A = this chain, B = another copy of it.
């Protein structure tokens, strides 16, 4: 191992820069030259690949987003695009590649590894926490804290007006963000894609709260469960509540990473380099029960992350 490249791909998330920093430092510590590949798989095709120095890893920990940038790249899905990428990999003498991103990014990594025999390590980076094989992906803890701070702010104004707030958070197929923040923000109800719900029951529950003299209600909705605007209309029409909608959207991608995300990112960047050095390829650095575990990327991509049932129970008990 003399040269290793790194790329960040798909939706960016806080902590990607901390991964890059850890990757650079670990390479240099081991006498390996780290290479930065710009704008995800696009950089492999365009040949935007350059050696990184120690100072490229300075002042990165606290920055959100990704300094290597990210982009969609349809061309890499074609054989022709992959061939050009391969040429650039060999032109730069890269002995391995680290890919940071979500399922889409890991699919690209799988192609490089399985079809072209390139030593590849994946690092899970995703706001939604929908990647199989890791308890948490890089970026999730920061997104959770952004949601919590935002709902705390909305509670101020909701309490002042006896209002019902519907807050839409990220999670297309995965209700993790919604269900755990429902617990930590004290929401009265939560709607997630994995579990069927009954709007009438929720409206009854909220009505009961107002009848008991409570001044506000908050409902958290994962985007995959439906549109907050549609739910809002239903709550106003059926429940007669004074309802307000907040879609947190891209705020959840931004912000300086939390301690947890910086530490997780550092661990994974370090492990990725060490796994390549010891000859392990085609795996993702999973975080399981407080340890880094290499999980075959093919296993990651062929499974769906299950919802932790104990969270449902906790949300139910806490919102009574």
Contacts and interface: CB of A to CB of B under 8 A. Distances in A.
A141 B150 CA distance: 18
A60 to B, nearest CB: 8
B266 A314 contact: yes
A317 B26 contact: yes
A153 interface: yes
Given A180-B259, A259-B148, A259-B181, A156 B71 contact: no
A161 B262 contact: no
A254 interface: yes
B153 A320 contact: no
A318 interface: yes
Interface residues of A, number: 77
B25 A318 contact: yes
A247 to B, nearest CB: 7
Contacts of A249: 244-246
Contact of A12 (B29, B135, B160, B260): B160
A161 B244 contact: no
Nearest to A142: B259
Contacts of A152: 62, 254, 256
Contact of A162 (B71, B155, B246, B263): B71
Interface in A130-162: 135, 141, 144-150, 152-157, 159-162
Contacts of A165: 250
Interface string A28-69: 110000000000000000000000000000110111111001
Give the oligomeric copy count. 4
A48 B25 CA distance: 31
B12 A69 contact: no
A289 interface: yes
Query: Which of A21, A66, A184, A258 has the most chain B CB within a 10 Å cutoff?
Result: A184
A99 interface: no
A185 interface: yes
Contacts of A145: 145, 258-259
Contact of A64 (B25, B157, B183, B250): B157
A251 B65 contact: no
Nearest to A183: B266
Given A12-B160, A70-B160, A154-B250, 17 more contacts: A8-B160, A58-B214, A59-B186, A61-B185, A61-B186, A65-B160, A71-B162, A144-B259, A144-B260, A145-B259, A146-B153, A154-B251, A156-B255, A157-B253, A157-B254, A183-B266, A246-B250
27 contacts: A21-B318, A25-B317, A25-B318, A28-B320, A58-B214, A65-B159, A69-B215, A71-B162, A141-B260, A144-B259, A148-B262, A150-B251, A152-B254, A152-B256, A155-B254, A157-B253, A180-B259, A181-B259, A183-B263, A184-B262, A184-B263, A244-B249, A245-B249, A246-B249, A247-B247, A270-B317, A289-B289
